[in-house]
Structure 1
Amino acid sequence: MDFAVRAGVPGVVVRARDARGVWSGTAGVADLGTGRAPRPVDRFRAGSIAKPFIATVLLQLEAEGRVRLADSVEKWLPGVVRGNGNDGRGISLRQLLNHTSGLADYTEDPDLHLLGKDFLAHRYDTWTPERLVAIAMRHEPRFAPGTGWNYTTTEYVLAAMIVERVTGHPYAAEAERRIFAPLGLRSTLLPGHYPRLPAPSGRMYTKFPDDPSRTVHDITEFDPSWGWAAGELVSGTADLDRFLAALMRGRLLPEAQLAEMTTTVPSPDFGDGQDDGLGIFRATLPCGTQVWGHTGFLPGSQSMAYSTRDGGHTLVVDFNTDWAGDTDAAGYLLLAEFCGTAPPSAATRRPGGRR
């Protein structure tokens, strides 16, 4: 972890668990203003680690016979996915969950102001899932459904909307009833429009790519509704460890649905050695170990949560910045934990890395 701090990451929180027990560690600072160190119990914005939760709820509904993965989006959300070549009649729920629908990603639209310093002026903008999907419909699909792969948050907003249509309840209530409460995830919540990060927590920092000065901004507070169910998740390392272990061990899904979740398609945009299941990725590491999980990336936070297939060995990490992607820190931690590969004495910046 120290190498990540030496490479410029303000702070990091890590939890690892295997047959020998649990280890929690921190490095750097959680608050650049006060110098407060990170704590293992700190909450953080987990971003797209929300997606395995959505997939789990939808697969639970399939196990209950209330939906089928072969159902079209149109069946549950009539008229929502239409226009500019988009047609929900030809997109299945399975294609939403494994990113093969071809739909455009609304987060890349300039009206979201997510990719530059304009975000500061729009950080408290409020969004509804319907508006987010409508923005995606302004754009033509990337490819015909089932003929390619593209990571798209739009698909998981639609998946959570389908959960609401099927159950008649808010997605947050279903996630609480089906996952958070049964597993005792006390640090995990879906905050809706609430802009603050609940205590205990540190601060979050960003640098905007269109700012030549590369000024560091405290971006802890913002309305997370632009990510809605697919990106607003707040959690902690212990909770994400518990969730992943329970998922891999079959506590949340029957055997048939867990088999569906872990049936993968190639995800070429994410590089060699990684395939996409339903809401969860399988990564084959250089040492041959396979791990399952997801990453989260949003302004001020980069996180990852991975587990072996049997749920016996897990790793959860959060960096309190989004420029950790400019270093190899996350990859070094993954290899150190699951392959025993020692990180370098000082991490190097990767040319062309994210922000």
Structure 2
Amino acid sequence: MTAGTAAPAAAADTRSGDDDSRGHGGRHAATRTAMADMIRAEDLPGTIAGVREDGDTWSAAVGVADTATGRPRSPRERFRIGSVTKTFTATVVLQLQAEGRLGLDDTVERWLPGTVPDDGIHRPGITIRQLLNHTSGLYSYDDDPQMIRLLASPDFMAHRYDTYRPEDLVRLAVSHPRLFDPGEKPQYSNTDYLLAGMVIAKVTGRPYGEEIEQRIIRPLGLSATTLPGTAAGLPRPHALGYSKLFGGSKTPLETTELNPSWAGAAGEMISTTADVGRFYSALMRGKLLPQAELDEMVPADGAPGLGIGSVTLACGVTLWGHTGGIHGSSTVAVTTRDGRHTAVFNTNADWADGERRLAEAEFCR
């Protein structure tokens, strides 16, 4: 089913403890304006935001959740967070290191023997650290031509309920030549995080999703955050998601329902702006990791982060976080290093390209 983009609905702001008493003005006015500008400039359905700053919270919604009815977006909606899932997965791996149950410099072969065979060309011995910082050199399974056809062409609509096993996707990835020696350079690969999820399961004896629930979701009270596994639906409330199939379609298609098992530990989770912001704030404040592991995840020396990346804005502010793109959903989650100021944005379309401008508006005022 195809869907065009309706005219933006009126925006709505909500706040708790915000010292701005001037309605839509005040300290988040530039953020709200940037959201409206983005959906107009990029012909997007709608965008929502959730901000935490020094104990205060603010949220906003601009545009529509349903292009057919014009139903407005709501800051309370649940959505697919895509690769923001990677920060959750990496946090569990680092917790396991802190408990002495694995080491970041353990090889994948130690925990998953035979899963990633040496290719006889590149240096052997990919480590868990190299999975988390994307320096493994492993081919990303979703770059395989068959997977591109299934995920990023009109064929997706006939296959969006298909189930994929991580073992099969990794097997597909390692059927391709490695791209470079382990540790040589960073190059993003979703294969890395499928393997990280498999390592978690091997070490703990439980699926990585159960570990995320027990170690992060429940302790932080992230009541709107779920790992759907093979379930195709989105919990309510939610917007409809619109996809151009990552370039495979010129016309937006409604792709709200899909089986996210193809993304797994690299990108299957569902959450809200409030829950994701609470997670990143807690992470940076040391509530999930000891200082040593947090310093490894968020290095001060410019090295690649582990399940998290950094960006320095035009005003000199450095933020840490992750973006997440999956059919019908684009998410960006960013935080200051001290966790005192976080912002999470979601667009119910997968061709959004203005997330950096939203961060500039929020953090460079």
Compute the TM-score of the two structures, normalised by the length of structure 2: 0.87
| 2:93 counterpart of 1:68 | no
Query: For residue 309 of structure 2, what is the aligned residue in structure 1?
Result: 281
Contact 1:98 1:265 in 2 (8 A): no
Residues 122, 110 of structure 1: alpha-carbon distance in 2 compared, 3 angstrom cutoff: farther
Deviation at 1:265, TM superposition (A): 7.9
Query: For residue 57 of structure 1, what is the aligned residue in structure 2?
Result: 92
Deviation at 1:314, TM superposition (A): 0.7
Distance, in Å, in 2 between the alignment partners of 1:240 and 1:86 is 41
> Secondary structure in 2 aligned to 1:130?
helix
Distance, in Å, in 2 between the alignment partners of 1:233 and 1:292 is 19
Distance, in Å, in 1 between the alignment partners of 2:321 and 2:100 is 26
- Equivalenced residue count is 327
Deviation at 1:160, TM superposition (A): 0.7
Deviation at 1:36, TM superposition (A): 1.1
Contact 1:264 1:278 in 2 (8 A): no
| 2:309 counterpart of 1:239 | no
| 2:78 counterpart of 1:40 | no
Contact 2:122 2:180 in 1 (8 A): no
> Secondary structure in 2 aligned to 1:276?
coil
* Matching residue's letter, 1:185: L
Query: For residue 138 of structure 2, what is the aligned residue in structure 1?
Result: 103
Compute the TM-score of the two structures, normalised by the length of structure 1: 0.89
Residues 265, 305 of structure 1: alpha-carbon distance in 2 compared, 3 angstrom cutoff: same
Deviation at 1:89, TM superposition (A): 5.1
Contact 1:46 1:296 in 2 (8 A): yes
- Which residue of the other structure, out of 322, 333, 344, is the alignment partner of 1:316? 344
Q: 1:276-306: CA deviations, max 9, x gaps? A: 3000001111111011100001111110100
Distance, in Å, in 1 between the alignment partners of 2:230 and 2:123 is 28
How large is the Cα RMSD of the aligned pairs? Answer: 1.6
- Which residue of the other structure, out of 262, 273, 291, is the alignment partner of 1:226? 262
* Matching residue's letter, 2:75: P
Residues 83, 256 of structure 1: alpha-carbon distance in 2 compared, 3 angstrom cutoff: closer
Task: Give the unaligned 5+ runs of structure 1.
Answer: 267-274, 341-355
> Secondary structure in 1 aligned to 2:215?
helix
Query: For residue 252 of structure 2, what is the aligned residue in structure 1?
Result: 216
Query: For residue 243 of structure 2, what is the aligned residue in structure 1?
Result: 206
Contact 2:64 2:70 in 1 (8 A): yes
Distance, in Å, in 1 between the alignment partners of 2:38 and 2:185 is 35
Distance, in Å, in 1 between the alignment partners of 2:301 and 2:146 is 31
Q: 1:218-253: CA deviations, max 9, x gaps? A: 011111100012110100000001000000000000
Give runs of ≥4 in structure 1 deviating > 2 Å: 83-89, 208-211
* Higher mean C-alpha displacement, 10-19 vs 247-256: 10-19
Residues 83, 62 of structure 1: alpha-carbon distance in 2 compared, 3 angstrom cutoff: closer
Distance, in Å, in 2 between the alignment partners of 1:48 and 1:243 is 15
Query: For residue 349 of structure 1, what is the aligned residue in structure 2?
Result: none
Contact 1:45 1:235 in 2 (8 A): yes
Distance, in Å, in 1 between the alignment partners of 2:158 and 2:120 is 33
Distance, in Å, in 2 between the alignment partners of 1:34 and 1:124 is 25
Distance, in Å, in 1 between the alignment partners of 2:283 and 2:319 is 13
- Which residue of the other structure, out of 151, 155, 168, is the alignment partner of 2:188? 151
Query: For residue 169 of structure 2, what is the aligned residue in structure 1?
Result: 132
Q: 1:28-66: CA deviations, max 9, x gaps? A: 001112211111110000000000101100000000000
Deviation at 1:115, TM superposition (A): 2.1
Deviation at 1:86, TM superposition (A): 8.0
* Matching residue's letter, 1:99: H
Distance, in Å, in 1 between the alignment partners of 2:111 and 2:339 is 33
Residues 197, 289 of structure 1: alpha-carbon distance in 2 compared, 3 angstrom cutoff: same
